[in-house]
Structure 1
């Protein structure tokens, strides 16, 4: 699903441009050092925050997404700036001895949807003036570039339409085996509009109205989790192979000694 016609430029160029113009776009530049990688971003709104970093899973809260991805048709001043669109660029550079095995983006949409109705009843003499209408939509997508390898990870996306309640989602990259830098791109949007049902009471000479409602927002920050794994250094492999060879040689010597002892014992008994 296409989240928005605007797309990011590729790789480090996009990150450099956003960082250079961060004040102009009210973006917050974030630098984090985690166990397995460094994390740099240029994202609208508040700075991204480290939530957890243990056992090969690093979770970062994209706080700006919560501020931007929201729209209430009944309260325009409450809506996020920049056309209710979020675009974040995140650059990951692995520390020596680590690789990326996957990533996921988790969140939840919350919404309200009600279409205004005309009154019912056989004794009502009304003339419809405007039919009620309401729509509320939202979406989030994530994709990745692999600058060193020249490849990419296919986009994952989720959309919500006319919610009454919440809709949780997790966008998973699937298994990766990547030992170079990684550029992540996250997009999101929300939009809503509503118009009231209006009618005219012919018997009484006045208008009636039933307001429609439409709202769509993230119920909390997006949570980006990057999964990593330690990769043994080449000398570690060499030591491991040497150790296995030593163990194998020891076992072979023990077997030879055991066979020799058994043969000698048989000879004596004979």
Structure 2
């Protein structure tokens, strides 16, 4: 009975951990609330100064990595949302990441040479208040090295912003083959890989005065104007 209870407890704990891992990411920044309902690995708040908030997309990074001596692929799709807090507006964003590709085609002494290829793409579609929207994408093909890119947009004043972040990558590798004089067939694996490193989004925000602040400012300007007119009248009377 005790063994059965322990087993059921272990199953329950594993189920709870699985559900916790699949829980959506919610980040309460100073100027906005961020939500990623599709994350299986929690996104990370890197910095938050109030004027600029940087979030690292851990789940996206985990999904965008593939390496094989055969054919393989992977992808990601996430819908992100940002809701500005009262007294703030979203003024722009900057998304950055680096593709890292590896192509290692095996060679053969007098036989069929191997081959290696890769292909990847990232797209980011953002929209917000008053039908504002922007779309950016980056593609790589046969990348053997690094490719850093930045998507950015600014000069906006949004209280709500949503983003559709998508990525895909495929690799293909074929081994080199050759036959030695003794009739033995040999092969050497090729390797193809593609990874997306450090995908991070910085959201820029600005504080805006509350309506009460505008009212006090207008009252202050009115008082200043009245004071100046009164002063002129007194000066004219003395003259």
- Separation in 1 of the partners of 2:233 and 2:184? 108
- Separation in 1 of the partners of 2:177 and 2:235? 99
Q: Which whole-Å deviations, capped at 9, do the CAs of 1:88-107 have from their partners, x for residues lacking one?
A: 12222221121111122211
Q: Which structure is larger by alpha-carbon Rg, 1 or 2?
A: 1
Does 2:171 correspond to 1:189?
no
Alignment of 1:54-133 (within 5 A): 54-74=49-69, 84-119=74-109, 126=110, 128=111, 130-133=112-115
- Separation in 2 of the partners of 1:85 and 1:61? 18
TM-score w.r.t. length of structure 2: 0.79
TM-score w.r.t. length of structure 1: 0.71
Deviation at 1:173, TM superposition (A): 2.6
Q: Which whole-Å deviations, capped at 9, do the CAs of 1:16-50 have from their partners, x for residues lacking one?
A: xxxxxxx79x7431222111111222134311121
Q: Which whole-Å deviations, capped at 9, do the CAs of 1:193-215 have from their partners, x for residues lacking one?
A: 100222334x4534454432210
- Separation in 2 of the partners of 1:165 and 1:198? 26
Identify the residue that residue 236 of structure 1 maps to in structure 2.
213
Alignment of 1:123-162 (within 5 A): 126=110, 128=111, 130-146=112-128, 149=130, 151-162=131-142
Q: Which whole-Å deviations, capped at 9, do the CAs of 1:38-73 have from their partners, x for residues lacking one?
A: 122213431112111114111112111111111101
Aligned residues: 221
Deviation at 1:131, TM superposition (A): 4.0
Does 2:188 correspond to 1:198?
no
Whether contact under 8 Å (2:96, 2:151) holds in the other structure is yes
Q: Which whole-Å deviations, capped at 9, do the CAs of 1:215-251 have from their partners, x for residues lacking one?
A: 001223x212211111112221122122223334444
Q: Which whole-Å deviations, capped at 9, do the CAs of 1:131-157 have from their partners, x for residues lacking one?
A: 4221112222111233x64x2512211
What root-mean-square deviation, in Å, do the aligned CA atoms of Structure 1 and Structure 2 show?
2.7
Structure 1's 259 and 162: CA in aligned 2 closer, same or farther, altered over 3 A? farther
Structure 1 stretches of 4+ moved >3 Å: 203-211, 248-261
Whether contact under 8 Å (1:44, 1:87) holds in the other structure is no
Identify the residue that residue 47 of structure 1 maps to in structure 2.
42
Structure 1's 136 and 28: CA in aligned 2 closer, same or farther, altered over 3 A? farther
Q: Which of 200, 205, 222 is the matching residue for 1:245?
A: 222
Does 2:200 correspond to 1:218?
no
- Separation in 2 of the partners of 1:243 and 1:228? 27
Structure 1: runs of 5 or more not aligned:
1-22, 120-125, 265-270
Structure 2: runs of 5 or more not aligned:
1-17
- Separation in 2 of the partners of 1:137 and 1:174? 30
What is the DSSP-based 3-state SS (H/G/I as helix, E as strand, rest coil) of the residue aligned with 1:38?
strand
